[in-house]
Chains A and B, each alone.
Chain A
């Protein structure tokens, strides 16, 4: 991280300390944010490579490059990496840390040392997960859901991987309680709840889910380890246990966890769209409220992952009904974003392009979610490629594209240099096209009946699978261009100064890159986060 020829200024150099130690032992929320960014994005790239391998295997029927066992291991590791190492910690860890304390007008988070501990726990957990791949009897092959009874019996290295995820859960809990305390206690003078940015609101909702849902995952993982190592038999039907209780516990966490993934993304989009529309956000209160509503309603609907598991019919009806409730706050957000665009002075720069494609892809993902949430149609497409297509639209098309938008929007602020616009737009176009080819064909394949999690398929699915694989290559090319452009730009590009996009939130009012404690004097906030007229005066 040493920058020799061009001193960056701000928090990069004003502590007078440099070298690796000044980063990995720093309690500065910006340094920790960047550490999270590098780590989570690194794991994202690992996950991408594994995903490309999966698609390569599915290019032709029969064995292409790997057999059934290897395919099981690769999709498990792809899922575990993407979910636990990238998408769950990614947004709160990287952009939550970088931006949120500045947006509320604080010098740092409420518990800076705890924040550093969170990162260390995350890295420790990630290393344990990685170790589990290369030790014992081979990488876990259970799928990221670790379903019993298979996970209790398989000889692969499930215990260690589960332990790593447990540690990462601890890290998420600490981040969550840190953010809630920060938002409650460290808001600057004049920063009322009604003046918080929507990104901060979404992180607040996210943090609550992290706190209230993650412990359930923790106990579930402990029980898996006990099942394997002590033979407790709590989920073993042969000894009176009930595998469905495992599924309940797992999804009590893992469904709300979906909202840990998507809520901060929605928040970032809510911050970006008004700036590039030069118009105050439409329905501020409703967007803020809908973040809380999504977190609350999202905690009631876990059973829709279990419609075909043998759960009671009454529970299926209840969960199916509750699932539709989540659609309401989600739709509130989409309508408000579109209304913000209406009659705005839209400037189509890279962050905005990613943000706009987020709206489209998330809408497609969300609407296909309703097909899965309705019990009757779910039975038809359950455990097919349709499901895989659906959640990639939400997770990758939603959170992933929002993550890219946030990278293009906020990173120049912290690096003091900017990327080139044209390659960014080309990369965006390639990724958007490749993404839709890759995942839309998956949905079609699922409707036609191709199941998920098999390395092989019937010959009639061959053409569409080939198309899907080609889509994955286009997406990968776009990703590489984006990455090269970002790295080159942020390290050696044109200087990025001031407030070129005219954002009205607090992070745009301080020097670029921000100094270590952000504000020379504690700011006094006099206008809302999207009040562009007040800013001009």
Chain B
């Protein structure tokens, strides 16, 4: 096709790795000091783009959780008693240091996670700094938040975060917790521990009192120990719905306050009057941003029947221009799948899509020989009964369904146990707002998708979890009101 010839070839444009200095091994960050795990266990973290071992980190066990919670409890007394304005100043310092070190952290994040440097540099890191900046400002204004006259911190927060946005999820957890006067023990994901360990160094630079932030690396067993610890007052988890339910069972019958940000199967709904080019950009951004490793990804495209062909033609043309490859290359659109385990899950669900009768399509796309990769893929002819329409794939795989009327779109969009986000593409404002009112989802994007801001609350309905992160609403998760 003539259009193919207009696609420019790009020379490699790798971001320099020299800006980040990764140590061969890291301990646990407890009470302001790095220390080995009590039982000396370690595990390796690799770059998913080439399976290179980046570093060796400690595997925290029950004794380490005990020590970290104890340190956080001890620090809580003074930290919670500090005037809000002083806590604010610590958080402002952290925000500024993150801004200063953002290139280093972006490269680190792309190495450990596999996401394109374009995204870690232009999306993750600016949002991380902004999140600390935003919650810094709340620390001395809690009485103005409309949550009652005397909001009080909860105590020690046990926080477990996923691997898709390691540092951003850390910011979403730690910034509001600290602003509200809590202390934290945070466990980063097993496959992406490094940026949290670098954050420990930022706490040191900011002069943050010891024990206010503790970082425990480890696998799911570490997280389970942490959320079950009797001296933890608050549990915050972002991750899979399955683990979220297990955590909800663990904290049942305790006084622990719980917020969960879990999976999603968001509908991205395109009406026939939508601006098609913009909608296609939104669809691509919705499902291929961050390799589709996004809980609010627009993984179900609901397109009005009358424009189905037009939208799919444009979408396929656009998908053919996506560049898959080296996460550190500044022109890369889609990086590496975060782990072998995740890649296997994506492959399994894609195979199920074919087996159940949906039609699979992917652009011609050369994938690197080592590392974990999956080409951007779409399925047409998907029905609501198909696994690829029901289950969260958490990868660059789009399921396309159709509808005829707005009512049908709402029914299909809501036909899922999840309820995290949704997208609506129409030029008609009243319809967009009507749809937004009917959708059972915590975030609804209209003529845009995957927009995040620290001032804006985020979180799900139904089995996508409960509680909100971000904005004024995000304070409530960390306060006794």
Report if A and B associate in a common complex: no
Residues of B participating in the A interface, judged by any CB pair closer than 8 Å: none
